Amino acid sequence: MNPLLEDFNTAPFSKIYVADYKPAVKKAIEITKQEIEAIVANPEKTTFQNTTEALDFTGQKLGRITSIFFNINAAETSDEIQKVAKEISPWLSEFKNDMILNADLFKRVKSVYDIKNSLDLNPEQTMLLEKQYKGFSRNGANLNNDDKDKLRKIDAQLSKLTLEFGEHVLADGNAFEMHITNEDDLSGLPESVKDAAQLLAKQKEKEGWIITLDYPSYIPFMTYADNRELRKKLAIAFGKKGFQENENNNEQVVLDIVNLRHQRANLLGYKTHAHFVLEERMAETPEKVISFSNDLLKKAKPAAEREFANLQNYAKKLDGIEQLQKWDSAYYSEKLKKELFNLDQEFLKPYFQLENVIEGAFTVANKLFDLTFEEVFDIQKYHKDVKTYQVKNNKGEDISILYADFHPREGKRNGAWMTSYKSQQIFNGINNRPHISIVCNFTKPVLSFDEVPTETQPSLLTFNEVTTLFHEFGHALHGMLANTTYNSLSGTSVSWDFVELPSQVLENWCYEKEALELFAKHYETGEVIPMEYVQKIKESASFHEGMQTLRQLSFGLLDMAWHAGESPETINSVKKFEAKAFSDTQLYPDVAENCMSTAFSHIFQGGYSAGYYSYKWAEVLDADAFEYFQEEGIFNKEVATKFKEHVLSKGGTEKPMILYKRFRGQEPKPDALLKRAGLL
So what's the pLDDT on residue 447?
A: 58
What confidence score (pLDDT) does residue 449 get?
52
Residues 6+ apart with CB under 8 A from 457: 192, 195, 445, 446, 447, 448
Residue 474 contacts residue 502 (beta carbons within 8 Å): yes
Identify whether the C-beta of residue 67 lies closer than 8 Å to the C-beta of residue 75: no
Task: Give the C-alpha separation, 605 to 242, whole Å.
Answer: 13
Residue 453 is predicted with a pLDDT of: 45
Between the alpha carbon of residue 170 and those of residues 163, 164, 165, the distances in Å are 11, 10, 9
Per-residue pLDDT at 450: 52
Q: Are strands 435-439 and 398-405 parallel, antiparallel or unpaired?
A: parallel
CB contact at 8 A, 390 and 401: yes
Residue among 340, 641, 627, 345 at smallest CA distance from 512: 627
Would you call 6 exposed, middle or buried from its count of C-beta atoms within 10 A (0-12, 13-18, 19+)? exposed
Residue 163 to residues 23, 151, 300: CA-CA distances in angstroms? 20, 19, 35
Catalytic residue among 334, 472, 507, 619: 472
Query: What gap in Å lies between CA 656 and CA 620, rounded to an integer?
Result: 14
Domain 13-142 is found in CATH 3.40.50.1400: no
Tell me what pLDDT residue 671 has: 86
Query: How far lies 336's CA from each of 339, 466, 677, in Å?
Result: 5, 21, 18
472 is catalytic: yes
Query: By the 8 A CB rule, do 143 and 267 touch?
Result: yes
Domain map (residue ranges) of the chain: 13-142, 176-239
- As a residue count, the chain comes to 680
C-alpha 450/C-alpha 271 separation (Å) is 64
Q: What pLDDT sits at residue 451?
A: 46
Q: What is the mean pLDDT of each run of 10 residues along the chain (680 residues)?
A: 96 97 98 97 96 96 97 95 95 93 95 95 97 94 94 94 95 97 96 92 95 94 98 98 98 98 97 96 94 93 96 97 97 95 87 97 98 98 97 97 95 93 95 98 72 66 95 98 97 92 97 95 95 87 94 98 96 97 97 98 94 93 96 97 98 96 92 84
569 closest CA partner among 262, 161, 249: 262
- One-letter amino acid at 23 equals P
**Integer distance in angstroms from the first to the last C-alpha of the chain?**
63
